[in-house]
Amino acid sequence: MSTRTVLHEADIARALTRIAHEILESNKGPDGLVLLGIPSRGVPLAERIAALIERVSGASIAVGQLDVTMYRDDLSRHPTRTPRPTSIPAGGIDGRTVVLVDDVLFSGRSIRAALDAIGDIGRPSAVRLAILVDRGHRELPIRPDFVGKNLPSARSERVNVALSEVDGIDEVTIRGEAD
């Protein structure tokens, strides 16, 4: 197996800065925004994006986390998932623009589960999707609104996102068969 680094710390910082600006532009400012990170690495990414939006706009952005474990349709194949707490910011999501934040978009099943979870929590005016890495291979008709890096990959390859808050380092690697 060979592993190569495709994004370094500075690349991730640039991608998140671009995503923050695109979210602000798309929303026509910070009003009504709620960022919900999908555990585990979507949560620190949502917090970083919120901090960047706050730095640019001066407005405080509500951030929470949305556990999708019990909404997944593949629990029978992956029964060892440990649910994490869901925390919705004060004020909820009704009538607000929710931006789901996750590290890697692959099949789209986590995002489908997140949409189901949101439906049980409230009724936002809009739901957007911000992804650090879009690797393709969608099984569902789900497309991100904000992408840090499009990374075409083979199904046999594994994309790993490491973040300093969780892993002690910021990098994105791709691991596959040796050439």
Q: Indicate the pLDDT class of residue 175, thresholds 50, 70 and 90.
A: very high
Which sequence spans correspond to the domains of the chain? 2-70+88-176
Model's pTM, two decimal places?
Answer: 0.94
Residue 78 has pLDDT above 70, yes or no: no
Q: Measured on CA atoms in the order 108, 167, 163, 49, is the torsion positive or negative?
A: positive
Distance CA 21, CA 167 (A): 26
Phi-psi region of 32 (alpha: psi -120 to 50; beta: other; left: phi over 0): left
How high is the pLDDT of residue 81?
65
Domain at 2-70+88-176: CATH code: 3.40.50.2020
Find the mean pLDDT for residues 155-178. 93
